[in-house]
Chain A
Amino acid sequence: MSDTVAVVLLLALTTYAVFGGADFGAGFWDLIAGGPEQGRRPRELIEHSLGPVWEANHVWLIFVFVVTWTAFSEAYASIMLTLFVPLTIAALGIVLRGASFAFRKSVVSLRNRRLFGVAFAASSVLVPYCMGAVAGGIASGRVPAGGKAGDPVDSWINPTSVVTGVLAVTSVAYLAAVYLVWEARRDDNAEMADYFRRRAVVSAVVVAVVGAVGMVVLHSDAPYVFDGMTGRALPVVVVGVAFGLGALVLLARDANRGARVLAVLAQAGIVVAWGVAQWPYLLPESLSVSAAAAPSGTLRVLIVNVVLAVLIVLPAFVLLYVLAQRRLLPEEGVPDAADRVTDRSAD
C-alpha cells in the first residue's frame, strides 16, 4: 500500500511539474520579453493564456505536501528541516507571484503594471529554481532520515541542486513556450506563434544540454540516482528523450499539433525518471518508501482521497477544460478581434 501512495505522490509531483510548470515558464518568457512596447504582445498572450486555470495549479503542490506529511511524515520533517532556506524562498515567491499576477491584471497605470509584472516574472523563475534545488538535495542523498536536519547550506547549494534548479527553470520555460505557440495559433496570431516557436526550439536545445550536463554531475555527486537513471529508469529516460526529440522535430517543422502532447510527456518523463531512479528510496540510501510509510489506516484514507479525486475533481477539471476549449469562458482581458480593431482606431 505504501508503494501505491508513493506512486500517487510521484504522479502528483509530475502533474505539478507539467501544469504548474507551464505557469512558471510563462513567467520566464514574461521576464525576458523586453520593454513595455516590445514585450506588449507576448505579455498579452501570456496573461490571457494563464487566466482561467492558474489558481487551480497550486492545488497540486498542496496535494504533494499533504501526501508527504501524512504518508511519510518523518521524511517530510527531515526535508523541511534540512531545506528550510530554499523552501522558504519558494513559499515567499509563490505569494509574490500569485498575488502580483492577479494585481497586475487589476491595475491600470504602467508604473504599477511594470512593478507587479516584474515581481510576477522574477518570482516565476525563482520558485522553480528553488523547487529544482530541493529535488537535487533529496536526490543526492543530502537529506538524512529520522526527522533530522542535514547541512542547511550544502543541501541546496551543491552541484546536483544547481543543475536540477537550472533544469527546472529551463524545462518549464520550454514547456510554456510550446503551450504559448498553441495558444497563439488558437487566436490566429501568426506573429506570436512564430515568436514562441523559435523560443521553444532554442529552449528545447538548452534543456537537452542541461540534461546532459546533469547526467555528468549525477555520476559523481549522486551515484545512486545516476545508477538508477542508467539502469532501472533507463527505459523512461529513453522514452522521455524520444518524446523531447519528437516535439523538437515537430516544432522545427512547424507542425505544432502533436508537439504540445510530446513536450508534456517529455517533461513528465524527467520527473518520473527521477522517481524510478531513486526507487525504493524516498530519501536515497537512508530511508525507503516502505520504512517511511504511515500506518495502514492513514494510507488507506489517502487512497480513498485519490479515488474521490478521480470521481469528483477529475470530471470538474474535464468540464473546465471542455468549456475553455469551446471558448465558453472568454477572457475579457482580450477583446474579440473586432473590438481590437475599433480599439486601435479609437487610439
Chain B
Amino acid sequence: MIVVPAVHALGVLTVDPVPWARSQMAFTLAFHIILVPLGVSWAFMTLIANYRAIKHDDADALLLAQRWSKYMAVTFAVGAVTGTVLSFEFGLLWPRFMGQWGEAFGVPFGFEGLFFFTEAIFVAIYIYGWRRMRPWAHFWTGVPIVLAGIFGAVSVVAANSWMNAPSGFTLDSSGKVVAVDPVAVIFNKAMPLEAAHMLVAAYLVGGFMVASVYAGAMLRGRRDRYHRLGFVIAFTVAAVATPVQMGVGDALARWVYNDQPEKFAAIELVPHTASDVPETLLGKLSANGTVQGGIAIPGLASWLSDPGTGKATVVKGIDSVPAEDRPTVSEVNVVHLSWDIMVGLGSLLFLLSLWYGLTWALRRRMPTNRVFLTLAAASGLLSVITMEAGWVVTEVGRQPWIVYGYMKVDDAATANTGVWITFIAVTVLYLALGVTAILVLRGMSRRFRRAGGFADVESPYGPPASSEAEPQVEEAAR
C-alpha cells in the first residue's frame, strides 16, 4: 500500500504538538461560538415575530418569522457539524485529559446531548411545519427549541466551569478518579455565574447580530415596516440583555477575584500582591515583571474588587502562585488586552442600548438617524468580538492549567506529532466554511428580496432559484 510509506514519511516532520493542539482547539471553539448565540437566541426572536404574526394577523411579522427560520436552519446545520468536530477534538487533541478526567468532565455532556437532540428534532419540525400545521400548534413546536437551547448551553458551560473550579470527584493515591458525585460536578462553584454570563451573552450577541443586518438594510434605504420590525425585535432583545450582562459580568469578575486570583491578576495586570491597586487601561507586562504604558486609574481595581473595603482591598499578584503555576508573560498580556476589549466594547454596546431605550421612552419610536444606524450595523461584529474576548479571558486566564489546580495543558495534549497538519487542514476547511456560509446567507437574502414573499419558496433552505439559473442547467446538460 502506497499510503503506508507516505504516512511514515510525514512522521519525520516531528513538531511539538502542544501549541498546534491549543491553536486548533482555540480556532474551532472560536468559530463554533459565533454560531452558538444564533442557535440559542434566534429561535426566541423568531417566536416573538411568529406570536405577533398570529396574534395581530401581521403579515410582515409572519414573513420575518418564516425567513428567520430558514436562515436558522443553515446556521443550525453549520453549528451542528462544528459542534460534532469539537466532540472529536476532545479526544484527538486532549486524550490524556479525557483519559484521566472524562469520568467527571463528561457528566454535563450527557445532558447537553439530550438537549441538543431535542433541539435538533424541534428545529426540523418547526422549519418544515409552516405550510401544513395549524398556526398555534406550529408556534408551540418552536418553544422547545428555545428551552433546549438554554439548557444545552448551560450544560456545556457547566463542563467548562468545571475546568475552572473542579469538584465532585475523589482521587486515589495515583491520581486516578475513583468516585464521582455528578451533582457536584455539574453544579461546581464557577457554574452558576459562568453559565448565566454565557446565556445572557447568547441573547445579547444573537440580538445584535440579527439587528445589525436590518440596520445595514435601513442604511441602504430599505426603511419599510418589514425591515423596521426585524430590527426592533432583535435589537430589543439585545438591548434588554446588555445591562443584565454588565451585572452578571461584574459578579463573575468578583468570583474570579476570590477563587482564581492569578486569573484576576492577569486581568488587572497586577504583578505583585498589593492594596490600592490601580485599574490599568491597555498597557502591558514586560518580561521583567513591571507594568509598562497604559492609563492607570489609581485605586480603582482594588475598589471594584470589593467596594466594602475600597482602596484598601488587597489584590493578589501573579507572584502569589509558584513560578511553575503562573501564566506566561504573553498569556498575561493576552488576557489583559482581551479584558479591556470585552469591557470597552461591552460598554459601547451598553451606551447604544441606552440610546435606543431612551428614544423609545421619550419618543415612542426607534432612533433612525445615520449615526445610530451605522453603530447598530456594526453592533453584530462588535458583539461577536466582545464575546470572543470574554472567552479568551476565561480560557487563556486559566493557563497553565486545563483542570485548575489538577492538570496542566502540557500534560493533557496528544503526543501525536502530526497535529500541525490537522491544524492547517481544519483552518482551511473552516475558513472556506465560514465564507461559504456568509455567501449562502446573503444569496438567500437577495433571492428572498427578489421573490418578495415566502409562499414561492422552493428550496428547503432558501428561496427559489432565480429564473436566470435555469438556462445554465439546460446548457450544462448538453
Contact = CB atoms under 8 A, between A and B. Distances in A.
A333 B73 CA distance: 14
Given A36-B477, A316-B144, A102 B91 contact: no
B118 A69 contact: no
Interface stretch (A72-80, A209-217, A261-269): A72-80
Chain B facing A: main interface SS: helix
B4 A106 contact: no
Contact of A62 (B87, B104, B422): B87
A134 to B, nearest CB: 11
A27 to B, nearest CB: 14
Interface string A134-169: 000000000000010100110001000000000000
B415 A316 contact: no
Contact of B114 (A78, A84, A107, A312): A312
Interface stretch (A179-187, A199-207, A323-331): A323-331
A61 interface: yes
A91 interface: yes
Interface string B67-79: 0000001101110
Nearest to A62: B87
Contacts of A313: 114, 117-118, 121
Nearest to A297: B180
Nearest to B93: A80
B110 interface: yes
Nearest to A146: B99
B128 A51 contact: yes
A92 B123 contact: no
Interface stretch (B230-238, B271-279, B435-443): B435-443
Interface stretch (A93-101, A218-226, A233-241): A93-101
A288 interface: no
Interface string A55-68: 11011011101110
Given A108-B466, A301-B107, A92 B461 contact: no
Interface in B411-456: 414-416, 418, 422, 425-426, 429-430, 433, 436-437, 440, 443-444, 447
B120 A157 contact: no
Interface in B319-366: none
A95 B76 contact: no
Contacts of A62: 83-84, 87, 113, 116
Contact of B440 (A73, A107, A157, A302): A107
Given A70-B107, A298-B182, A312-B114, A85 B7 contact: yes
A309 interface: yes
Contacts of B80: 55, 58, 98
A87 B419 CA distance: 13
Given A73-B102, A328-B133, A329-B132, A153 B440 contact: no
A138 to B, nearest CB: 14
A59 B8 contact: no
Which one of A35, A58, A149 has the highest number of Cβ atoms from chain B below 10 Å of its Cβ? A58
A102 B87 contact: no
B383 interface: no
Contact of B182 (A300, A312, A328): A300
Interface string B108-138: 0111111011101111110011011100000
A69 to B, nearest CB: 4
Nearest to B112: A66
A53 interface: yes
Contacts of A153: 3-4, 7-8
Contacts of A98: 77-78, 80-81, 84
B12 interface: no
Contacts of B7: 85, 152-153, 157
A88 B466 CA distance: 38
B95 interface: yes
Contacts of B133: 323, 328
Which one of B95, B129, B426 has the highest number of Cβ atoms from chain A below 10 Å of its Cβ? B95
Interface stretch (B41-49, B195-203, B385-393, B468-476): B468-476
Contact of A91 (B1, B88, B178, B433): B88
Interface string A286-316: 0000000011111011100100110011001
A81 interface: yes
Given A69-B106, A81-B415, A95-B433, A295 B121 contact: no
A223 to B, nearest CB: 23
A118 B129 CA distance: 29
Which one of B80, B118, B447 has the highest number of Cβ atoms from chain A below 10 Å of its Cβ? B80
A70 B103 contact: yes
Interface in A26-66: 35-37, 51-53, 55-56, 58-59, 61-63, 65-66
Contacts of A342: none
20 contacts: A59-B113, A62-B87, A63-B117, A65-B90, A69-B90, A69-B106, A70-B110, A84-B414, A95-B429, A99-B437, A106-B444, A108-B443, A110-B476, A295-B179, A297-B179, A308-B114, A312-B118, A330-B128, A330-B132, A333-B459
Interface of B: 1, 3-4, 7-8, 11, 73-74, 76-78, 80-85, 87-92, 95-96, 98-104, 106-107, 109-114, 116-118, 120-125, 128-129, 131-133, 144, 177-182, 414-416, 418, 422, 425-426, 429-430, 433, 436-437, 440, 443-444, 447, 457-462, 465-466, 469-470, 472-473, 476-477
Interface of A: 35-37, 51-53, 55-56, 58-59, 61-63, 65-67, 69-71, 73-74, 76-81, 84-85, 87-88, 90-92, 94-99, 101-103, 105-111, 147, 149, 152-153, 157, 294-298, 300-302, 305, 308-309, 312-313, 316-317, 319-320, 323, 327-333, 335, 347
Given A153-B8, A313-B114, 18 more contacts: A56-B124, A69-B98, A79-B91, A91-B92, A95-B433, A96-B429, A106-B462, A107-B443, A149-B415, A157-B1, A157-B4, A294-B103, A296-B179, A308-B114, A316-B121, A328-B133, A329-B132, A330-B132
3 closest cross-chain pairs (CB), A and B: A70-B106, A77-B99, A73-B102
